[in-house]
Chains A and B, each alone.
Chain A
Amino acid sequence: MLESRHLSFRYTATAPAFRFPDLRVAEGNACLLLGPSGGGKSTCLHLLAGVLTPETGETVLNGTNYAALRGAELDRFRGRNIGLVFQRAYFLEALTVRENLAIARRTAGLPSDPAILTATLDKLGIGQYADTLPGRLSVGEQQRVTIARALVNRPTLILADEPTSALDRANAARVSQILRDRAAELGAILVVVTHDDRLRKDFSHLVEIGPAIPATDRL
């Protein structure tokens, strides 16, 4: 279960605070956070990812309030429990697709089991690119590699930040489907933030985020 309560964040001491709706998402469920550009969607996602530290509130995953964790403890928690898909497809450019997945496991302190790597890539239909440098793949293929990397540690929580914004309609639909299917298969919680209305129809749980949105909006 993922729960966020009374989350707020401000970039500087004098800047206005972002206040985010409380969330409550159970294992195997998916949630879409929708909102306009500049509305704080990525900030919200990074608070849920433990990349940012909230000014107030807590983020609890299966009983662990990881907003209270710091340093190496938080890094380890994030590596083991949270899979991240970003707006842009970032990679370790010097490593092949398979090695990019392997390093995600090794960084989280997990063994880089070749069978798990191969199975993860095959399920996303990119097994044939295992030994290719990610820079040589198309945008759609790269996005599938980032999803594979987010899944390879079998995380409890998958967070995706604008995963379809750079894709055409067909690819966007495919990526959305893949994310939902793989999350369901792992029994993981999926949270997607986007301004892409094309995804609205794919999710039954929607949360709107924006300056005009009230501070609390429980699911």
Chain B
Amino acid sequence: MAQQKPADGLQNLTLCETADLIQSGKVSATEVLQACFAQIDRLDPIHHAFVWQDRESALDRARWLDSVRSRGETVGPLHGVPMAHKDMYYRAGRISGCGSRIRSNEPAKTTATALRKLDGAGAIDLGGLAMVEFAMGPHGFNAHLPRSLNPWDHDRVPCGSSSGSGVAVASRMVYASLGSDTGGSIRCPAAANGVVGCLPTNGLVSRRGAMPMSWSLDCVGPLTRTVKDAARVLKVIAGQDGFDDTPAATPVPDYESGLERPLSGIRVGMPRGYFDQDLHPDVQKAITASLDVFRQAGATLVHVDIPKSFSLCSDLHPLVMKAEGAANHRPWKRTRNAEYSEEVGKRLEAGFFIAAVDYINALQYRVFALEEFTSAAFSHVDALLAPVLPIPTPTLEQTAYSNGPAYLKMVVALTRNTRPINFLGLPALSVTCGFTSDGMPTSFQLIGRPFSEPLLFRLGHRFQMETNIHRAIPKALGA
């Protein structure tokens, strides 16, 4: 691929393919950026992935990166790669609206560590992407913004809260995007839009300069089209920064270097309990077929009983998230309540009445649950394979806001398989593994021990190489 300069269709290349072409001088950063502009001009008036764009700054940077390249130098592994991010990553002096009215006029005082690291690796920051207001909601709707549309089917939700990230990457408008995941907000939109979503181990990536939603659960991670792309981006953004105390003081491995290693000796866990409950037959079929791919690739499949405490992790997750979210929003809830959408405003309310002792006991339980789950789940396997969404991607109508039980059941179902993983702080990699009978992509998540991202990438990459499912093109993009 890197031997030829593509005449067109640059936007269909992966991040790594594009970065390699730029580094080899076969295509310029400016050409790649112009291809992204063309794709955005063609699709964003319909898909509404972007909240804002700064084309002038992006072009200036592309030209500078090309001048660096013309001297035979490169800035880093993402030299000249256009990206855009969930509109909650601060850049000093710039407004990140966080999908809200409340933050729509407030320039940031600092620059997010993740953005600084991407800048340092040569990436181009093209703009801010749509998100659920303050990242509080799984279906992707934001009453303050034009509705982001799923490129596979405009009548289906893009999921959220990193809705614009999922749509922009799936629509080939950018090569990668930072999302954030507190209860599934990277993995769910990745699954709904047919792209890869990476939830790193809690603390692996600094959250400095990212909008806080729930400090103990929030994670920063990428959405990309391939696992290899995700590995490259995570390598850039992971590691300590001296500001956020949570990142682990461990060296960040080169995630790309082990991708091609064989899977012989790797044990993939098939969960018994929790993940197999309320599972739609179409999703079950795709999961079963995926397991067969791993078996044929040399991995050993092993049944794993999910401990009963896992269900309690799922129930305690909203307690922690709501208590922390309410604390963040308390002054605004008192003085600027009318500026919240009805849905998000109501979602915040319960957190104000959670007892401090319940909150602290939930955090104490988290430590116990992590120990128990890792012992139970990973004593016989190296990674677990479980569905991201237990159901086919819902329609817009199914997720229309109401106080009715059907709406509440739908919202809970969207994150039932993802939020316990945040509670446990474990890494998970969402990879498209097939299609439900309505033609929508569906994904598995590979869940591993803390800091087992190298293994998850290795498994996910092998799956993509064996199946090529990730090369399917969303309906709305045309031929």
Does A pair with B?
Answer: no
